[in-house]
Chains A and B, each alone.
Chain A
Amino acid sequence: MPVISYIDAVKMALREEMERDRNVFILGEDVGKKGGVFKATEGLYEQFGEERVLDTPLAESAIAGVAIGAAMVGKRPVAEMQFADFIMPAVNQIISEAARIRYRSNNDWSCPLVVRAPYGGGIHGALYHSQSVEAVFANQPGLKIVMPSTPYDVKGLLKAAIRDEDPVLFFEHKKAYRSIKGDVPEADYVLPIGKADVKRKGTDITVITYGLCVHFALGAAEKLAAEGIETEVVDLRTVYPLDKQAIIESASKTGKVLLITEDNKEGSIISEVAAIIAEHCLFDLDAPIQRLAGPDVPAMPYALPMEKYFMMNPEKVEKAMRELAEF
């Protein structure tokens, strides 16, 4: 099984799906000739032509809206937002339109659309190239939000998103693009959207997180294991709708739960996870639910010391896990 990077898994999934189904096409800013600002679509323009790898005008609402129109008549568009931060002009199209098309038409119309966007910090991107925007969309039934952590999950989940009958937001951690590598089968496979994945089994504490933070938790879990503390790491993979069963099972099993997000704390994905645990697992808990998140400031500053202060990292995660284990 070849070892490839996170971003190459994105590209592999896109290429395979475009080869499999001629209705799949890509649209976005700089996705064609340039192959995307991160090179996620590199080579696809040459392979599939400009009609299926479409450089659009610089206008995010049109990117989303045009993709929605095409999806409604049978295409499988994969729209790229250059940065998750720039999805904001398209929010009306995504929330008022894509999320509601099946529901408002009483199942007459549907919108099988994928919107891909790189998110996350730690790359000197400052306020508008570092944000986590998932919470904006995570109370909109009709949408699905996928945030994979590994190349293997990227390929399987992106393929699943493209084949899904409903709109899927697919957020890729831009720091993971080249720093995270892993085994990815060359064969075709899909992974289920809506299912969390236990990335490490453990009995003492549970960490529930997603995206890049999964790797911080796994690294810290190794260190704690050397001291006899066994951590279970649950990777949400789909942050909306949440896999309640997986959350409840793991929280009930260890009774000590640490929830981690790189996003601001208030109203974040992990706030909802905390609510699920509070509702279902209260009498199984041996410690208060812990949340580790970015500070409640608008976004990540540019200067390195402030960026580091905001950004989640292995040390912060390890410290929080150790404290919970010792509770």
Chain B
Amino acid sequence: MELKHKKLGIADETVFHMYETMLITRRLDERMWLLNRSGKIPFVVSGQGQEAAQIGAAFALNREEDFVLPYYRDFGVVLAFGMTVKDLMLAAFAKAEDPNSGGRQMPGHFGQKKNRIVTGSSPVTTQVPHAVGIALAEKMDKKQTVSLVTFGEGSSNQGDFHEGANFAGVHKLPVIFLCENNQYAISVPVSKQLASVRVSDRAAGYGMPGYTIDGNDPLEVYKYVKEAADRARRGEGPSLIETMTYRLTPHTSDDDDRSYRSAEEVKKAKLSDPLDTFRSYVKEAGLLPDEKEEQLEKSILTMINEAMEYAENAPFAKPESALQFVYAGTEQGAEK
């Protein structure tokens, strides 16, 4: 039987690179929890269980030109778009060199202009209209770029989702709306979030195609996002893709999920952990011999250790630098 990635026209090397990025994402995420539980960093917001959706989507884009507007679980998206493990460690430790915010924002609030990772905030879904505005601007300039915006299924209830999706639909803008449906908005399950069966049902209201797909299969996500990107570049407008995933960790390091879901449910979800299933796939495809895998794990461990050590020892921004950058030309600090 022909391998799925071959059918999709994805090179072996790219598939390996996708797996590598997924693995880095997971190992980094796991390390963040250790750092939090040992009292070294105050906060973690995690993407475990959603890496396949994130990596599949990011790799389907032009990572040299397209824009991404990630939400707070998207370690995988930003790593695929050029942010480094060191950058993310600097953010976790809130150090001056953190490219996301120089230690101003909580971890998970991504942004890095040089990699077209658009700065985000905590009120959910505000990034959706921004993605639409970027697409509008790029279309005005006759560019071929696409903007990908991600959000959770709970967020798809926000007005900004509906207002942004409708705007993009009316003006046929090159936007990909990617929902990472991880089944929970903190503690509230999908059944109490959505009146429709699927988030993708909402696409019809905004004149765009909507798909619900397996978010545990990065190649499936790649396929749909690639098609949506091609469609967008042809001037045919936006798409909504709902990737079905499961949030394997509590909402954040400050949440205890035992109060609203059973250990059995989480255990069951772990059976289809996308990292395990994709690992099996690349192994069966012959792209990850044991020796190479061992090497990969080792090099990732080293990379994370080095990044952690660097970030832990890196300086904080000067306290009074909190006065900087309120307006343009306030590099010297705002008036006290």
The answer to whether A66 and B326 have CB atoms under 8 Å apart is no
Cβ-based interface call for B126 (8 A): yes
Interface presence of B235 (CB below 8 A) = no
| With A65-B130, A69-B132, A71-B133 as contacts: A104 and B163 at CB distance below 8 Å | no
Set of chain A residues within 8 Å of B272, measured between Cβ atoms: none
A77 to B132, CA, bound (A): 13
B128, A70: Cβ atoms under 8 Å?
no
Bound: A10/B184 CA distance, A: 48
- Do the beta carbons of B326 and A65 come within 8 Å of each other? no
Which among A54, A62, A68, A70 is the interface contact of B166 at CB below 8 angstroms? A62
Query: With a CB–CB cut-off of 8 A, which chain A residues contact B136?
Result: 66, 69-70
Contact A66 B121 (CB under 8 A): no
A247–B165 Cα distance when bound, in Å, is 46
A73 to chain B: which residues have CB within 8 Å? 67, 134, 137-138
B170, A57: Cβ atoms closer than 8 Å = yes
A92 touches B123 (CB 8 A): yes
Q: Looking across the interface, which residue of chain B has its beta carbon closest to that of A89?
A: B159
Most buried by A among B98, B105, B109: B105
Q: Does A110 contact B (CB under 8 A)?
A: yes
A34 at the binding interface (Cβ < 8 Å): no
Is the CB of A179 closer than 8 A to any CB of chain B? Answer: no
Among the listed stretches A94-102, A184-192, A226-234, A291-299, which one makes contact with chain B, having 4 or more residues with CB under 8 Å of it? A94-102
With A57-B166, A57-B170, A62-B132 already in contact, the answer to whether A93 and B126 are too (CB < 8 A) is: yes
Taken residue by residue from 70 to 103, chain B's Cβ proximity to chain A (1 for < 8 Å, 0 otherwise) reads as 0000000000000000000000000000111110
In the complex, chain B residues 136-178 whose Cβ is within 8 Å of any chain A Cβ: 136-138, 140, 147, 159-160, 163-164, 166-167, 170-171
Is residue B237 within 8 Å, beta carbon to beta carbon, of the partner chain? Answer: no
Contacting residues, chain A, for B99 (C-beta < 8 A): 108
| B 94-125 to A, binary, CB cutoff 8 A, 1 in contact else 0 | 00001111101100010111000011011100
How many chain B residues touch A (CB < 8 A): the figure is 47
**Segment 288-336 of B: residues with Cβ below 8 Å from A:** 324-329, 331, 334
CB distance from A305 to the nearest CB of B (A): 38
| Pick from B102, B121, B133, B164: contact of A70, CB under 8 Å | B133
CB distance from B286 to the nearest CB of A (A): 42
B164, closest chain A residue (CB): A62
Asked if B129 is an interface residue, CB under 8 A from chain A, the answer is yes
In the bound complex, residues from chain B placing their C-beta under 8 Å from that of A54 are 171
Decide yes or no: A106 and B101 within 8 Å by CB, A57-B166, A62-B166, A141-B334 being known contacts. yes
Give Cα A77–Cα B112 distance, bound, in whole angstroms. Answer: 22
Whether B328 lies near A101 (C-beta < 8 A) is: no
Interface string of A67-80 (1 = CB under 8 A from B): 11111111101000
Verify B137–A69 contact, CB threshold 8 A.
yes
Cβ A72 vs Cβ B134 within 8 A = yes
- Shortest Cβ distance from A102 into B: residue: B325
**Min distance, Cβ A97 to any Cβ of chain B, angstroms:** 5
| Chain B residues with CB below 8 A from A96, complex form | 121-123, 126
Q: Tell which of B67, B119, B167 touches A62, judged by Cβ atoms closer than 8 Å.
A: B167
Residues in A whose Cβ lies below 8 Å from that of B132: 62, 65-66, 69
Give the complex CA separation of A61 and B165 in angstroms: 12
Pair B129/A65 contact, Cβ less than 8 Å: yes
A77 contact set on B, CB distance < 8 A: 133
Within residues 19 to 74 of chain A, which ones have a CB less than 8 A from any CB in chain B? 25, 51-52, 54, 56-57, 59, 61-62, 64-74
Nearest B residue to A193, CB-CB = B327
B131 CB within 8 Å of chain A: yes
Check A100–B121 contact: CB distance below 8 A: yes
Contacting residues, chain B, for A144 (C-beta < 8 A): 327
**Chain B neighbourhood of A110, CB < 8 A:** 328
Min Cβ gap B71→A in Å is: 14
Cα separation A144 to B327 with both chains bound (whole Å): 9
Report the minimal beta-carbon distance from A169 to chain B, rounded to whole angstroms. 14
Nearest Cβ distance between residue B100 and chain A, in whole angstroms? 7
Inter-subunit contact B111/A66 (CB<8 Å): no
A52 to B130: give the CA distance in the assembly, Å. Answer: 18
Given A62-B163, A72-B130, A105:B100 Cβ within 8 A = yes
Q: A68-B129, A92-B126, A102-B326 are in contact. Are A74 and B137 (CB under 8 A)?
A: yes
Q: How many angstroms from the CA of A96 to the CA of B129 in the assembled complex? A: 13
CA distance A197 to B275 in the complex (A): 64
Residues of chain A with a CB closer than 8 A to B104's CB: 103-104, 106
Q: How many angstroms from the CA of A297 to the CA of B334 in the assembled complex?
A: 35
Which of A69, A72, A101, A104 has the most B CB atoms < 10 Å from its CB? A69
A135-154: CB near B (< 8 Å → 1, else 0) gives 00000011010000000000
Contact pick for B324, options A52, A65, A104, A107, CB 8 Å: A107
Instruction: State the CA gap A96–B328 with chains docked (Å).
Output: 18
Contacts of A309 in B (CB 8 A): none
Residues of B within 8 A of A70 (CB): 133-134, 136-137
User: How far is B163's CA from A61's CA once the two chains are assembled, in angstroms?
Assistant: 7
Contact assessment for B111 and A65 in the assembled complex, using a CB-CB cutoff below 8 Å: no
A220 to chain B, nearest CB (A): 33
Q: A70-B137, A104-B105 are in contact. Are A59 and B130 (CB under 8 A)?
A: no
A166, CB-defined interface residue at 8 Å: yes
Residue A284 interfacial (CB < 8 Å): no
Q: Which B residues fall within an 8 A CB radius of A?
A: 67, 98-102, 104-105, 109, 111-113, 118-119, 121-123, 126, 128-138, 140, 147, 159-160, 163-164, 166-167, 170-171, 324-329, 331, 334
Query: Mind listing 11 A-B residue pairs with CB under 8 Å?
Result: A61-B163, A65-B126, A65-B164, A92-B123, A97-B126, A102-B326, A102-B327, A104-B121, A107-B324, A109-B119, A165-B328
Given contacts A65-B133, A66-B167, 8 further A-B contacts (CB under 8 A): A59-B166, A61-B159, A70-B134, A93-B129, A101-B119, A106-B102, A165-B329, A166-B328
